[in-house]
Structure 1
Amino acid sequence: MKQQIEALDAYQVIEKRKISDLNSEGYILKHKKTGAAVTLLLNDDENKVFYIGFRTPPKDSTGVAHILEHSVLCGSKNFPVKDPFIELAKGSLNTFLNAMTYPDKTVYPVASCNDKDFKNLVHVYLDAVFYPNIYQEEKIFRQEGWHYEMEDVEDELSINGVVYNEMKGAFSSPDDVVEREIMNSLYPDITYGLESGGDPDFIPELSYEDFLAFHKKYYHPSNSYIYLYGNMDAAEYLTFIDEQYLSAFDALKVNSLVGVQTPFAAPKELVKEYSVMEDDSISENTYLTYNVSMGTSLDKKLYIAMDVLDYVLCSAPGALVKQALIDKGIGRDVYSTLENGIYQPYFSVIAKNANSSQKEEFVATIHEVLKKAVSEGLDKKALVAAINYFEFRYREADFGSYPKGLMLGLEALDSWLYDEKAPFMHIEANETYRELKASIATGYFEELIQKYILDNPHKTIMEVKPVQGLTSRKDKALYDKLKAYKETLSPQEKQEIVDKTAALRAYQEEESTKEALETIPLLTREDMKKEAAGYINEVQNVDGTTVLIHDIFTNGISYLNLVFDLKDVPAGLLPYVGILKAVLMMVDTEHFSYGELFNEVNTHTGGIKTVVNTYTNADDLKKYKVTLEIRSKALYEKRDKAMELMKEIILTSRFEDTKRLYEILAEIKSRMQAVMTGAGHSVASIRALSYFSLTAAVSEQISGIPQYRLLEDLLKEFEERKAVLVQNLKDLTQYIFRPENLLVDYTAAKESYGGLETAVKNLKADLYTGKVSGESFRPDPVRKNEAFMTAGQVQYVCRAGNFIDKGLPYTGALKVLKVMMGYDYLWNQVRVKGGAYGCMCGFYRNGDGYFVSYRDPNLKKTVDVYEQAAEYIENVKLDERTVTQFIIGAVSELDTPMTPATKGIYSLGGYLTGLSMEKVQKERDELLATTIDELRGLGRYIRAFMENECLCVVGNGEKIKESEDMFMHVEQLFRNN
Structure 2
Amino acid sequence: MQIQELTTYRIIEDKKIDDINSKGYILEHIKSGARVSVISNEDKNKVFYIGFKTPPKDETGVPHIIEHTVLCGSAKFPVKDPFVELVKGSLNTFLNAMTYPEKTVYPVASCNDKDFQNLMDVYLDAVFNPNIYKYKEIFKQEGWHYELEDKDSSLKINGVVYNEMKGAYSSPEEVLQEEISKALFPDNAYGKDSGGNPEHIPELTYEDYLDFHRKYYHPVNSYIYLYGDMDVVEKLDWLDKEYLSKYDRIVVDSEIEKQPEFDGIKDIVKEYSIASDEDTKDKAYLSYSKVIDDVLDTKLYHAFDVLDYCLISAPGAPVKKALIDAKIGKDISSSYDDGILQPTFTICAKNANECDKERFVQIIDETLRKVVKEGINKEAILASINSSEFRFREADFGQFPKGLLYGLQMLDSWLYDDTKPFLHLECLDTYKFLKSQIGTDYYEKLIEKYLLSKKNGAVITLKPVAGLNSKYEKEQEEKLAKIKSQMSEQEIEDLVKETKHLKQYQEEPSSKEDLEKIPMLKRTDISPNAMPFKNEKVVVEDVPVIYHDYETNGIDYVDFMFDTTDFTSQELQTLGLLKALLSFVDTKEYKYSDLSNQISIYTGGINFSVSSVTKLTDYEPLIYINARIRALHENIDKGLSLLWEILLNTDFSDKTRIKELIAQTTTRLKNSLSSSGNVAAALRAMSYVSKYGYYSDLVVGIEFYRFISDIDKNFDEKIDTVIEDVRKVLVKAISKNRLTISYTGNKDLFEDTKKTISKYICQCPVGSKAGKALPVEFEQKNEAFMDASQIHYVARVGSFKKHGYDYTGLLRILKVILSYDYLWINVRVKGGAYGCSGSFQKTGEVMFTSYRDPNLSATNDIYERIPDYVRNFDVDDRDMTKYVIGTFNSLDAPLYPEALGLRSFVAYLVGETQERIQEERNVILNATQEDIRKLADMLEAVLKENNICVIGNEVTIKKEKDLFNNVETL
TM-score for both structures, normalised by structure 1: 0.98
Match of residue 548 from structure 2: 550
Counterpart of 1:760 (choices 754, 757, 760) is 757
CA distance in 2, matches of 1:252, 1:195: 27
For residues 61-460 of structure 1, what are the structure 2 equivalents within 5 Å?
61-460=59-458
CA contact 2:28–2:36 (8 Å) conserved in 1:
yes
Match of residue 959 from structure 1: 956
Counterpart residue identity of residue 800, structure 1: V
* CA-CA distance at 1:303 after TM superposition: 0.6
CA contact 1:293–1:347 (8 Å) conserved in 2:
yes
Match of residue 635 from structure 1: 632
* CA-CA distance at 1:774 after TM superposition: 10
* CA-CA distance at 1:567 after TM superposition: 2.7
CA distance in 2, matches of 1:223, 1:530: 43
Taking only the aligned residue pairs, the percentage that are identical comes to: 48
Match of residue 859 from structure 1: 856
Match of residue 846 from structure 1: 843
CA distance in 2, matches of 1:846, 1:634: 34
Q: Alignment partner of 1:572: what SS? A: helix
CA contact 2:607–2:629 (8 Å) conserved in 1:
yes
Counterpart residue identity of residue 19, structure 1: I
Residue 669 in 1 paired to residue 666 in 2? yes
User: Any stretches of 5+ residues in structure 1 without a counterpart?
Assistant: none
Residue 39 in 1 paired to residue 37 in 2? yes
Comparing 30-39 with 224-233, greater Cα deviation is found at: 30-39
Counterpart residue identity of residue 249, structure 1: Y
- Offset from partner CA, 1:883-935 (integer Å, 9 cap, x none): 11111111111111110000100010110011111001111111111101111
Comparing 106-115 with 650-659, greater Cα deviation is found at: 650-659
* CA-CA distance at 1:568 after TM superposition: 3.6
Query: Aligned Cα RMSD in Å?
Result: 1.1
User: Any stretches of 5+ residues in structure 2 without a counterpart?
Assistant: none
Match of residue 780 from structure 1: 777
Q: Alignment partner of 2:438: what SS? A: helix
CA distance in 2, matches of 1:111, 1:716: 48
Counterpart of 1:522 (choices 520, 523, 526) is 520
Counterpart of 2:706 (choices 699, 704, 709) is 709
CA contact 1:147–1:161 (8 Å) conserved in 2:
yes
Match of residue 730 from structure 1: 727
Q: Alignment partner of 2:598: what SS? A: helix
Match of residue 941 from structure 2: 944
Counterpart residue identity of residue 764, structure 1: I
Counterpart residue identity of residue 821, structure 1: L
- Offset from partner CA, 1:684-737 (integer Å, 9 cap, x none): 111111100011100110001111011111011111100011011100111100
- Offset from partner CA, 1:256-315 (integer Å, 9 cap, x none): 011211111211100111101122111111111110000111111111111000000111
Match of residue 925 from structure 2: 928
Q: How many residues align?
A: 970
CA contact 2:873–2:929 (8 Å) conserved in 1:
no
- Offset from partner CA, 1:15-73 (integer Å, 9 cap, x none): 10111111101001111111111111100000000000000001000000000000000
CA distance in 2, matches of 1:591, 1:779: 41
Residue 824 in 1 paired to residue 821 in 2? yes
Counterpart residue identity of residue 467, structure 2: G
Counterpart residue identity of residue 916, structure 2: K
CA contact 1:694–1:780 (8 Å) conserved in 2:
no
* CA-CA distance at 1:775 after TM superposition: 9.0
For residues 510-589 of structure 1, what are the structure 2 equivalents within 5 Å?
510-589=508-587
* CA-CA distance at 1:448 after TM superposition: 0.4
Counterpart residue identity of residue 477, structure 1: E
CA distance in 2, matches of 1:487, 1:552: 69
CA contact 1:69–1:101 (8 Å) conserved in 2:
yes
Match of residue 907 from structure 2: 910
CA contact 1:568–1:736 (8 Å) conserved in 2:
no
Counterpart residue identity of residue 636, structure 2: R
- Offset from partner CA, 1:186-212 (integer Å, 9 cap, x none): 101111111100000000000000000
Comparing 689-698 with 178-187, greater Cα deviation is found at: 178-187
CA distance in 2, matches of 1:856, 1:751: 52
- Offset from partner CA, 1:217-239 (integer Å, 9 cap, x none): 00000100000000001111111
CA contact 2:569–2:698 (8 Å) conserved in 1:
no
Q: Alignment partner of 1:288: what SS? A: strand
CA distance in 1, matches of 2:888, 2:935: 18
Counterpart residue identity of residue 570, structure 2: G
* CA-CA distance at 1:767 after TM superposition: 2.2
* CA-CA distance at 1:768 after TM superposition: 2.8
CA distance in 2, matches of 1:885, 1:184: 45
Q: Alignment partner of 1:34: what SS? A: coil
- Offset from partner CA, 1:361-406 (integer Å, 9 cap, x none): 1111111111111111111011000100111111111001110000
* CA-CA distance at 1:76 after TM superposition: 0.2
* CA-CA distance at 1:620 after TM superposition: 1.4
Q: Alignment partner of 1:60: what SS? A: coil
Q: Alignment partner of 1:753: what SS? A: helix
Counterpart residue identity of residue 840, structure 2: F
Counterpart residue identity of residue 162, structure 1: V
Q: Alignment partner of 1:669: what SS? A: helix
Match of residue 488 from structure 1: 486
CA contact 1:574–1:777 (8 Å) conserved in 2:
no
CA contact 1:28–1:421 (8 Å) conserved in 2:
no
- Residues 531 and 835 of structure 1: is their aligned pair in 2 closer, same or farther, counting only changes over 3 Å? same
CA distance in 1, matches of 2:716, 2:362: 30
Match of residue 699 from structure 1: 696
CA distance in 2, matches of 1:178, 1:303: 23
TM-score for both structures, normalised by structure 2: 0.99
CA contact 2:65–2:143 (8 Å) conserved in 1:
yes
- Offset from partner CA, 1:407-456 (integer Å, 9 cap, x none): 11011101110011212100111111011111122211101000000011
* CA-CA distance at 1:873 after TM superposition: 1.1
Match of residue 647 from structure 2: 650
CA distance in 1, matches of 2:682, 2:692: 13
* CA-CA distance at 1:543 after TM superposition: 2.5
Q: Alignment partner of 1:337: what SS? A: strand
CA distance in 2, matches of 1:77, 1:858: 33
CA contact 1:377–1:443 (8 Å) conserved in 2:
yes
Counterpart residue identity of residue 962, structure 1: K
CA distance in 2, matches of 1:649, 1:405: 36
* CA-CA distance at 1:876 after TM superposition: 2.2
* CA-CA distance at 1:755 after TM superposition: 4.1
Counterpart of 2:799 (choices 795, 798, 802) is 802
Counterpart of 1:720 (choices 701, 707, 717) is 717
Q: Alignment partner of 1:141: what SS? A: helix
- Offset from partner CA, 1:441-485 (integer Å, 9 cap, x none): 221110100000001111111111101111011001100000001
CA distance in 2, matches of 1:223, 1:336: 33
Match of residue 871 from structure 1: 868
CA distance in 2, matches of 1:579, 1:63: 41
Comparing 527-536 with 754-763, greater Cα deviation is found at: 754-763
Q: Alignment partner of 1:951: what SS? A: strand
* CA-CA distance at 1:776 after TM superposition: 5.4
